[in-house]
Amino acid sequence: MIAYADTSAIARAYMPDEPGHERVRRALFDERWTVLTSVLAVCDRHPLRALDALHLAVALVDGARVAGDAPLAFLTCDARQAGAARACGLELLPEA
């Protein structure tokens, strides 16, 4: 069976003082389950806020799909998000 785990479940599995810690940990590490999560849950390369990471993920996946072979640029006024977008290979518009 496949299970999708969000950030709250993953964090709870590593925080023993949280209610439900053992239950979530057993579920995540149960060999009967294939656990999926988003790159947003493990965004350790770029310290972004959740919505900033979501915008970047949509640009990388859906934006790239819509753009096809055309160049894809990312527009932001947030320096951290600009750095993450640049690190992911996106051109910034305007250059930030």
CA distance 30 to 22: 12
Residue range 34-78, pLDDT digits in tens: 988 776 655 766 677 778 888 888 888 888 889 999 989 999 998
For the chain, give every domain's residue range: 2-37, 50-92
Confidence (pLDDT) at 11? 81
Residue range 78-90, pLDDT digits in tens: 898 899 899 888 9
Regarding predicted confidence, which is higher, 39 or 26?
A: 26
Confidence (pLDDT) at 95? 60
